[in-house]
Amino acid sequence: MFKLFRRPVGAARRTVSFFASRLRPSTLRQTMSSGTTTKSGDDLLRPLVVVVLCFAAMFVGCGSDIETAKSDVEAAKATARAGVGDDLRAPKRASKSHLIAALETLTGMDLETNPFTIHPWRLESYAVGEVGWVLLEIYEGLDVPDMSAARVHAFDVNWNHLFARAFPTGYRHRVVGAQIQAESVCGVPLIRITVTSTGPFVIVPAGDPVPAFSTPGHIHQLYAVRHDRVVLMRLENHEHLAMGPSYAWSAPTMGPKIRSRTPDQLARSLESEDPIDVLETLLWLSGHHLTSSEPRRANINQESIEHSKLFELVHGRADVRDRLEMLKHSENPWIRDYAELSLRER
């Protein structure tokens, strides 16, 4: 916004200087007899003329800048559209500088090219609801220990930026793959992010070392994109079996922060016809939580007592458990998996 008005304001200042240099000081006629001071009609009109001309110059300049800005945005949209499907990772990024610049125009954000921070990976089509396109950014998690992360930008079909959401993809987990999966059992494309543990590892007899705090092999994270958020839909181990996420920390270490909802809203979401809404709640119900009675320690990253109580309240409701029993027989295999995980003994 401020950039739009830099040139108009400058034009107005030049206009003021132009007219001020050509106007003589007001001619004051002193009436000695009455002791009053008067101005001629021309003197009164000159300042008004200056003000009118200044505003005219400002708005002409503003209109010109707005048209230029619109033209820049349209050019950025055309460049982005031509770049859909491009791999934006290094070392290919240098040849994509024009595309990165276009995406910066559309997002209004500086997109980093430093591999040691979150940076663009892929620009893909994602035609679901109000979302038309998705820009995926990744930080692989190159240090040890480190937290890998992703950021998803959603655009509508006209390339208007809907949102940007950043979230962790694993503590001591490195991203080894990220792509758009065109098909899924939920009937929508998904973002698939694959991570692997960076240790520490435990030596086991007659076998490969295994991570001390994670599952062996790769973990696959699958996310859906809505017009206002990113939803964790499924976690899979290296055998592609469903895993429950951990909510034992103040925020999840894999996936976006949980939306704030009431117990009734959470219960009703299990009745939804939209599998994304159902799975969003099932992932939360199937995950690992601290009990509300478990002592919390100062300065330790732990799930809050309030959040633990919310989980216990919803998970213990008779209507929720009845619904979970029904969902165990859903036609959707992912819903079946997470309904069963939600009902397991804790």
Question: Both 231 and 93 in a single domain?
Answer: yes
In a domain, residue 50? The reply is yes
In a domain, residue 253? The reply is no
Of 52, 73, 94, the one marking the end of a domain is 73
pTM of the model: 0.80
CB 139 within 8 A of CB 117: yes
In a domain, residue 194? The reply is yes
How do the pLDDT tens digits run along the chain, 346 residues long?
434 334 444 444 454 454 445 444 444 344 444 444 445 555 555 666 555 565 655 555 555 666 677 889 999 999 999 999 999 987 666 678 899 999 999 999 999 888 889 999 999 999 999 999 999 999 999 999 999 999 999 999 999 999 999 999 999 999 999 999 998 999 999 999 999 999 988 887 877 788 887 888 999 999 999 999 999 999 999 999 999 999 999 989 999 999 999 999 999 999 999 999 999 999 999 999 999 999 999 888 999 999 999 999 999 999 999 999 999 999 999 999 999 999 997 6
Question: Both 99 and 220 in a single domain?
Answer: yes
Question: Both 109 and 133 in a single domain?
Answer: yes
Question: Both 69 and 87 in a single domain?
Answer: no
Domain that holds residue 6: 2-73
Of 30, 52, 73, the one marking the end of a domain is 73
Question: Both 24 and 45 in a single domain?
Answer: yes
Question: Both 304 and 231 in a single domain?
Answer: no
Question: Both 231 and 99 in a single domain?
Answer: yes
Of 53, 73, 93, the one marking the end of a domain is 73
Question: Both 97 and 177 in a single domain?
Answer: yes
Token couple for 202: 């435990």
Question: Both 214 and 296 in a single domain?
Answer: no
In a domain, residue 247? The reply is no
The whole-number pLDDT of residue 54 equals: 58
Token couple for 50: 């200056």
In a domain, residue 250? The reply is no
Is the C-alpha dihedral spanning 13, 18, 21, 24 positive or negative? negative
Question: Both 38 and 87 in a single domain?
Answer: no
Helix or strand (DSSP H, E) at 91: none
Question: Both 214 and 89 in a single domain?
Answer: yes
**Tally of structural domains, the chain:** 3
In a domain, residue 249? The reply is no
Is the C-alpha dihedral spanning 185, 264, 131, 231 positive or negative? negative
State what percent of residues in the chain have pLDDT above 70: 79
Question: Both 8 and 143 in a single domain?
Answer: no
In a domain, residue 316? The reply is yes
Bridging pattern class, strands 161-171 and 201-202: unpaired
Give ∠ CA 275-280-286 in degrees, rounded to 5.
Answer: 110
